[in-house]
Amino acid sequence: MESTDDIIFELDRESRLTAIFGAWIESSEVNTDFFIGKTAAEIFPEGIAEVHMMNSEIALSGEQTTHEWSFGEEVNQKHYSINLSPIFDEEGLVTGLVGIGRDSTKLKETEEALRRSRDDLLLTMSRLLKVKDPYTVDHQRKVERISTAI
């Protein structure tokens, strides 16, 4: 598990980290001992910990849950998709959670680039239509404004 780029972790019934794995540990300045025994509220700043705690509660009720998490500023911002699954004992009771955090930064950047390209394409097409047939485009805009006003 140490060779994966994913963050793999286990939580107990009190949402305290009991294990954490992944290649990212070697490249970070933080030792795994920093995390062990702590909850999200003890690791993350206020406002960020709540989403982690809320999803832990959902998983502790027996449901798998996935949430997005981002941190950092603008250019250095990182995005993660966190999947939490309950760990059941032989009697079907939840004894803890296993989580996998996958870096989705490149995916988010690609989605944003596609959104910008789509917006640019729509703007270009709109301008081309107006140049080619200004009456139709203006008429369509007036109809759209009237329909949204109704």
pLDDT at 25: 73
Instruction: Give how far Cα 143 sits from Cα of 28, 52, 137, 138, 148, Å.
Output: 57, 46, 10, 9, 9
> Partners of 98 in the beta sheet?
10, 85
Residue 127 in contact with residue 133, Cβ under 8 Å?
no
CA dihedral over 45, 48, 49, 50, signed as positive or negative: positive
pLDDT at 57: 95
pLDDT at 62: 96
CA 68 – CA 52 distance, rounded (Å):
10
Q: What is the pLDDT along the chain (150 residues), one digit of tens a residue?
A: 556 678 899 999 999 999 998 877 776 777 888 899 999 999 888 888 888 999 999 999 999 999 988 877 777 888 889 999 999 999 999 999 999 999 888 888 888 889 999 888 888 887 776 666 666 667 777 878 887 777
Kindly report the backbone phi and psi dihedral angles of residue 16, in degrees, each rounded to the nearest multiple of 5, phi listed first. -95, 140
pLDDT at 17: 95
Per DSSP bridges, beta strands 65-71 and 94-103 are unpaired
pLDDT at 132: 64
